[in-house]
Structure 1
Amino acid sequence: MSSPITLPVRETDGQVRLDRFLRRKFTTLTQGRIEQMIRKGQIRIDGTRAKKAGDRLSPGMDVHVPQEIVIPEKKDDGIIRVRLKPEDEQWLRDMVIHEDGDVIVLNKPPGIAVQGGTGTTQHLDKMMEIFSTDDHGKPRLCHRLDKDTSGVLVFGRNPAATAFLSKAFAGRKTTKVYWAVCLGTPHPLSGEVRGWMIKAGSSKNPDHELMRRAPHGEPGAVFAITDYHVISNAGTKASWVALKPITGRTHQLRFHMAEMGYAIAGDPKYTCDREPIGGLSEQLHLHARAIRIPHPKGGILSVTADLPPHMVKAFDALGFEIFEGRDPFEHFRVDA
């Protein structure tokens, strides 16, 4: 017989009914299935058999459930997938770098999609159901990052907060700074990139889209502006560049750096004629380092996200030093 799964009740879960707690953890679990397992004595709370679906849980308790509680979903392609396992929950909770009653901010790893799309079976928007509350449901995305981009990702915890934060993004009341490792060293060392761009093709998945340069007036074209500053460089082969998007277009930073002739290391879509930087990971070296945004309750929320492992290795290899306490906004005008 397989050993049971232990689900700790955390402070973020609050005081919650057993059935609601379990449905947050396993999105395919039905009320009938929960009650059936309770009747069979398969669910225990701190070692004692659960009595009913409405049993109250408190932070610090442990809920023990059988392995069979993990109900897989079958997709049209015939592949069986598990929506959310306890280890996925811990993986997601470890991403949290700020949390309060209105806002959750994650440090998103590279390689995980923010939203679902064609062929995307695991994404953060769905997984955020583990932070659901009885009153407001799951946290909602306020903006997005490319699948291969890491860093700061903001969610609203209730409808009012989500609307407020989304309006701040749309109204350009936020300041976002990205760090990138680029091929070569841009000249001049600081400046602004601007121009018209448009989606090339008709992909329904944002991660599969490709942008191209567009003439002014082309139907569907959008105007994009990016400020940049070279923080350091490794001779002529590579540079550490801070990027501040003024607009928020799909793939904007990746497109702009490639258009300048200094593509971001590891980018398979937006390239330039420069030689790759030897010895680095093939992952995209673009990280949403920090954000300043108005908080729904007043004041400014400022959050900084640590670099992912592959970029830490790149910085070490290229001799780029990150000083403790360095202000990620120091090279740009701060709007928020």
Structure 2
Amino acid sequence: MKKSYNVESTFNDMRIDRWIRNNLGNIPQGLIEKSLRSGKIKLNNKKIKSSKKVKTSDTIELFNFEYTETILQKKIKFVPSEEIIKENEDLIIDNNDDFIVLNKSSGISVQGGTKSKKNLVDIFARSDIFQNTKPFSVHRLDKDTSGVFIMAKHREAAQLLTSLFRLRKVHKTYLAICHGELQKDEGEWNDDLTRYDNDKEIIEKARTTYKVLDKNSICSLVEMKPITGRKHQLRKQLYAVGSPIYGDQKYKFSNSDKAINKNLMLHSYQIKFMIKGKKYTYTALLPEYFKKLLKTKRLRFPSS
């Protein structure tokens, strides 16, 4: 049995594994990977990897690929308890007919993957909030980054929000506590960031405006507004200027602060966007560990 789907413009330049979850259901990453390798899922009649990005009018073909909620329950290794669901529901900033906004905790993934058993999409799939629908992930936030995160409640909202993020019409503000003093108190970083897809080197342009809110000879509190949305963009850029973020165990110079700072001191503080002429602004309060380090390092933030 064969099924075919044409990629709509709102999903242009999206990874195929993400397209599958947005359009076919909350399918575990492992099952997607296996189906792509075996040829049960093809792009334009060709086998491809999960990292391949789809383009408008591409054809995604499914061959003898049957997927139901019963299969979902068998494939998901982690089934969230009621306590975990309630814990995350308590972090809701807004809950409307189209989407929910969370103050995401550090240490929890946004959606499932090969190394993520506990994630927000699976947790909220069992929540009463999504009783007659399902959560759609519309943007990314690193597992160890806290702060504002949005999940759509239905496909139309997911397509709209995904499009806003892709067109850079969602304005994000991050806060970070980093080592040392930055040379300039404000400016813009323009970098060529390198990442690897298997053994292939990929170089991407990355732009971020920044402003130092407070600093001393030891550390700085930095406000950052990314213009592009590259993987680990802010963490890489601060590392590149010689001021890695406290608690970052990937982009760092030494292990000196590992025992003291178990959390990554990067927080998605605010998101702004507009839908049909209506302005939306969401702000996520700082985590207690973030405020504690501000106090310890004698850094001031007006709202902390």
TM-score normalised to the size of structure 1?
0.63
Counterpart of 1:251? 232
Greater C-alpha radius of gyration: 1
* Aligned-partner Cα distance in 1 for 2:249–2:158: 33
Task: Trace 1:186-335 onto structure 2 (pairs within 5 A).
Answer: 186-200=182-196, 202=198, 220-233=202-215, 235-272=216-253, 276=256, 280-295=260-275, 298-324=277-303
* Aligned-partner Cα distance in 1 for 2:78–2:259: 36
Aligned AA (1:285): M
Counterpart of 2:97? 101
Aligned AA (2:155): P
CA contact (8 A) 1:183 1:276 kept: no
* Aligned-partner Cα distance in 2 for 1:201–1:236: 38
Counterpart of 2:87? 91
CA deviation map 1:25-70 (0-9, x unaligned): xxxxxxxxxxxxxxxxxxxxxxxxxxxxxxxxxxxxxxxxxxxxxx
CA contact (8 A) 2:195 2:201 kept: no
* Aligned-partner Cα distance in 1 for 2:203–2:150: 27
SS at match of 1:220: strand
* Aligned-partner Cα distance in 1 for 2:74–2:152: 30
Aligned AA (2:79): R
SS at match of 2:250: coil
Segment drifting more, 189-198 vs 264-273: 264-273
SS at match of 1:221: strand
Aligned AA (2:262): E
Cα 1:280–1:241 shift into 2, 3 Å: farther
* Aligned-partner Cα distance in 1 for 2:257–2:241: 17
CA deviation map 1:198-239 (0-9, x unaligned): 213639xxxxxxxxxxxxxx9632111111111001x21111
Cα 1:119–1:300 shift into 2, 3 Å: same
Aligned AA (1:158): H
Cα 1:155–1:278 shift into 2, 3 Å: closer
* Aligned-partner Cα distance in 1 for 2:183–2:147: 26
CA contact (8 A) 1:262 1:272 kept: no
CA contact (8 A) 1:139 1:156 kept: yes
The number of aligned residues is 230
CA contact (8 A) 1:280 1:314 kept: no
1:165 equivalent among 161, 165, 172: 161
Identity percentage of aligned residues: 33
* Aligned-partner Cα distance in 2 for 1:224–1:262: 17
* Aligned-partner Cα distance in 2 for 1:250–1:103: 24
CA contact (8 A) 1:238 1:277 kept: no
Counterpart of 2:149? 153
The gaps in structure 2 that reach 5 residues or longer are: 1-72
SS at match of 1:147: coil
Counterpart of 1:118? 114
SS at match of 1:223: strand
Aligned AA (2:219): A
* Aligned-partner Cα distance in 1 for 2:252–2:204: 21
Cα 1:83–1:219 shift into 2, 3 Å: closer
Aligned AA (2:269): R
* Aligned-partner Cα distance in 2 for 1:75–1:156: 23
* Aligned-partner Cα distance in 2 for 1:196–1:322: 31
TM-score normalised to the size of structure 2?
0.70
